[in-house]
Amino acid sequence: METRRSSSEETRADLVITNAKVITVDKDFNIRQAVAVKDGIITAVGTDDEVRPFIGPSTRVLDLKGKPVLPGINEAHMHAPFFGATRPPLALDLTYPVIQSIPDMAAALRQKVTEVEPGEWIRGFGWDQATLEECKNDPTRLPRKYDIDPVSRNNPAVFTDFSGHTLLANSKALELAGISRDTPDPDSGEMERDPATGEPTGIFKELVAHALISRSVPLLTREEKKKAVLTTLDHLRANGVTSYTDAAIGPGGEMYVYGVMSAEFIDIYKELLKEGNLTARVNVLLLFGEYGALTLEDLRRNIESFKVPADVDKAWLTFPGVKIFADGIPPTMTSWMNEDYVSGGHGTSVLPGKTEQEQRDQLIEMITYVHSNGYQVGVHATGDRAIDTAVDGFVRACEKVSGGDPRHYIIHGDFISQEKAKALAGINCGIAMQPYIGVMISDYVPAIIGKERAAYEWPARTVLDAGANLTSSSDAPVTYPNWRLGVQAAVLREGRVSGRVSGPEECISVNEAIRTYTINGAWQDHMEDVKGSIEVGKFADLCVIGEDILTVDPHKIGEIPVLMTIVGGRIVFDKEG
C-alpha cells in the first residue's frame, strides 16, 4: 500500500473508490483495489481495507463492484477545435457507418439544404472512400461534384474526407471560389480534372490545392470556435480522455479549414480554464507557419514574436512544442518515401526547396532552430524518407545544442525503420502513432505501396523493442477519439473492412497498448511525474470502464463502454448521469 501521509483527520479523502480493479499502469503494472483522492491528488492506492481509513463523514465513496479503473487517457496527438468543427452542429456528419454510399452522402446534403438559407455554405466531414459502396473496390472512383450537384444547386458545399487530405466541392462552391477549367493547377497537390474536358471534378487533393476553395469558405466566428472546443470536450469526457495534445494551433492556422487552427484558440482555452469548463489538460503544439507550407522564415518571425501565456495554470494548459510538416499521407501517395509507389514516383515533401537535398537541409535547419529556442518539436512524417530526415534533424539538433530534455517526436511515423527507432531512443525522443488509422487503411494500401511495406506500416513492436517512447492517439478528426478501438487495433492489426491481419509481427500486447495511451503520453508531455498512472502524489485523473480490458476477447475491446471520467478528482462524466 502506498499513502501520502499517515491517515488522520486532515487526510480524510474527498473521494474514495473501493471494490475496483485498479489498473495502476505503474512500473510493474500492479493491480490494486482502491484509491483515495484529496484536493485533486491521489493520496492512497491499495486494498479496500488499506484505503478505508481515508473515508471520513464527508467523503464521497464509489463502490465500483469490481469494474476496472485506468489512469485518465492521454490523446497524444489530435486536433480539438478541428474535431469539434467537423461534428454536428457545425458540420454534416459524413463518417462511416452514418454514410455508406455516395447516395447516402447526397441524401444527407439534400436534408441539410432544407434546413439552411439558400446561398449558405454547408460543411461536411469524414467521408472515406474505403467504406463508400461505389468506391471500395475501385480506387479510381471518388465522390465528385456530379454526385452532389443535383441536390445542392443553390448552396455551396465542401466535404472534407476523414483524413483531411482530400476535399470535395460542389459546383456552387466552385463557382463562388471562381474556379473553372481555366484555373491553373495548384503548386502542389492536385485539382482533379475530367480527362476529356479539363473541367474540375470538385476533388482537391492536399492542402495547397484545398486553399483554392477553402479561402472562399467563411471562417468560423469566435462563438463557433468556442462551440467547436466545447463539442470536443464533450466527446472526450465521454471517452475517458483527461489529457490531450492539440497538435497545431497558432498564427499559421488562421486560414486552414475555416480557421480551425487559428491562434484565437489560445485565448479560448484560457477562457475555458478560467470558467472551469476545461475538462481535460491541454498541451499545445504551436503552428508557426501556414499549414503544410511552413518555412524557416515563418518560424523565425513567429518564435521571436510569440509570447508563451504566462498567467495560466501549467497543470491544465501548456505550450511546450512546435509543429513542423515534412510530407503528406500514404493513401494519396504524398508520403515522402525512399522507394517508389506501385504506380511510380516516391511522393513529395511539403518542405520548401527546389531539390530534395534542399528540402532535406531545410527540415534539419528548421528542427535545429526550433530546438535551440527551447521548444519540443513534433514533426509530421509518414514516408520513410521524411522520417529518416526528421530523425537525422533531431540527432543533429541534440548534438549541436546539448542539454535539456526536449523529447522531440515523430508524428505518425508509418514506416520508421528499426535503425531510426533506435536513434530516437538514443536521444530520448519518441513517436506518436495512430493504430486505428492503421486498420482503416490496411485493406487498400497494399495496392498503393506493395504488400511488404503495407504489412510493416505502423511498426509499434519495432518501436517498443528499440526502446523509443511510443504514444497512441486518434488524430481526431481523422478517427473518432475512442481509444478502446485504438488498443484493439494495436493488439490485433485487423483491417476494419476485411478483418485481415496486416503484419502480425508488429502487434503489441494490451498492457503495452494501455501504456501508449497513458504513461507514455504523460512522458511526451514531460509530466510523467504528475500524471499517466494511478500512484500516490499524481493528479486524480481516472477512467472507469465497463469490462475487464485485460481479460476480455481483444475483438471486443473497441466496444467497452466508458462509465466515468474523473479529472483532478472531479467527476466530469458519469454514464449513469
**Of 409, 413, 408, 467, nearest in space to 435 by CA:** 413
Q: Which is nearer to Zn ion, 145 or 412 (CB)?
A: 412
Look at phi and psi of residue 237 and say left if phi exceeds 0, alpha if psi is from -120 to 50, else beta.
alpha
User: CA dist 380 to 31, 389, 411, Å?
Assistant: 36, 11, 5
Q: Which is nearer to Zn ion, 256 or 573 (CB)?
A: 256
CB of 11 to Zn ion, least distance (A): 43
For residues 131 and 338, give the distance between their C-alpha atoms in angstroms, rounded to a whole number: 29
Binding mask 163-202 vs Zn ion (x if CB under 5 A, - otherwise)?
A: ----------------------------------------
For residues 248 and 523, give the distance between their C-alpha atoms in angstroms, rounded to a whole number: 19
Q: Which is nearer to Zn ion, 161 or 475 (CB)?
A: 475
C-alpha cell at 269: 482555452
Binding mask 8-27 vs Zn ion (x if CB under 5 A, - otherwise)?
A: --------------------
Q: Which is nearer to Zn ion, 94 or 437 (CB)?
A: 437
**Of 65, 63, 72, nearest in space to 24 by CA:** 72
Q: Which is nearer to Zn ion, 475 or 506 (CB)?
A: 475
C-alpha cell at 309: 501565456
CB of 411 to Zn ion, least distance (A): 6
DSSP letter string, 51-89: HGGG--TT-EEEE-TT-EEEEPEEEEEE-HHHHHHTSTT
Beta strands 376-381; 68-71: pairing state = unpaired
According to DSSP, the residues that pair with 161 across neighbouring strands are: 127
Q: Where are the beta strands (DSSP E) in 215-355?
A: 241-249, 281-286, 317-325
Q: Which is nearer to Zn ion, 290 or 475 (CB)?
A: 475
Burial of 225 (0-12, 13-18, 19+ CB in 10 A): buried
Q: Which is nearer to Zn ion, 438 or 568 (CB)?
A: 438
Look at phi and psi of residue 119 and say left if phi exceeds 0, alpha if psi is from -120 to 50, else beta.
left
CB of 99 to Zn ion, least distance (A): 22
Q: Which is nearer to Zn ion, 156 or 521 (CB)?
A: 521
Q: Which is nearer to Zn ion, 46 or 292 (CB)?
A: 292
- Determine the distance from the C-alpha atom of residue 530 to the mean position of all C-alpha atoms in its chain, rounded to a whole number: 22
CB of 432 to Zn ion, least distance (A): 9
CB of 113 to Zn ion, least distance (A): 31
Applying CB under 5 A, what is the total number of residues that bind Zn ion? Answer: 2
CB of 475 to Zn ion, least distance (A): 4
- Determine the distance from the C-alpha atom of residue 7 to the mean position of all C-alpha atoms in its chain, rounded to a whole number: 41
CB of 439 to Zn ion, least distance (A): 17
Q: Is 475 in the site for Zn ion (CB under 5 A)?
A: yes
Of 60-68, 341-349, 469-477, 507-515: span binding Zn ion (CB under 5 A): 469-477
Residue reference for cell 486518434 = 474
CB of 164 to Zn ion, least distance (A): 8
Contact 102, 133 (CB under 8 A): yes
Q: Which is nearer to Zn ion, 76 or 549 (CB)?
A: 76
Q: Is 388 in the site for Zn ion (CB under 5 A)?
A: no
Q: Which is nearer to Zn ion, 81 or 568 (CB)?
A: 81
Contact 513, 19 (CB under 8 A): no
Q: Which is nearer to Zn ion, 69 or 247 (CB)?
A: 247
For residues 505 and 461, give the distance between their C-alpha atoms in angstroms, rounded to a whole number: 7
Three-class SS state of 231: helix
CB of 247 to Zn ion, least distance (A): 5
Residue with nearest beta carbon to Zn ion: 475
Of 52-60, 103-111, 472-480, 522-530: span binding Zn ion (CB under 5 A): 472-480
Q: Which is nearer to Zn ion, 475 or 494 (CB)?
A: 475
Contact 407, 524 (CB under 8 A): yes
**Of 126, 27, 23, nearest in space to 66 by CA:** 23
Binding mask 234-273 vs Zn ion (x if CB under 5 A, - otherwise)?
A: -------------x--------------------------
Of 170-178, 198-206, 263-271, 470-478: span binding Zn ion (CB under 5 A): 470-478
CB of 413 to Zn ion, least distance (A): 12
CB of 77 to Zn ion, least distance (A): 6
CB of 206 to Zn ion, least distance (A): 14
CB of 297 to Zn ion, least distance (A): 23
Q: Is 161 in the site for Zn ion (CB under 5 A)?
A: no
Which stretches of 332-479 are DSSP H helices? 356-372, 384-400, 418-426, 435-441, 446-449, 451-456, 460-466
Residues that bind Zn ion (CB under 5 A): 247, 475
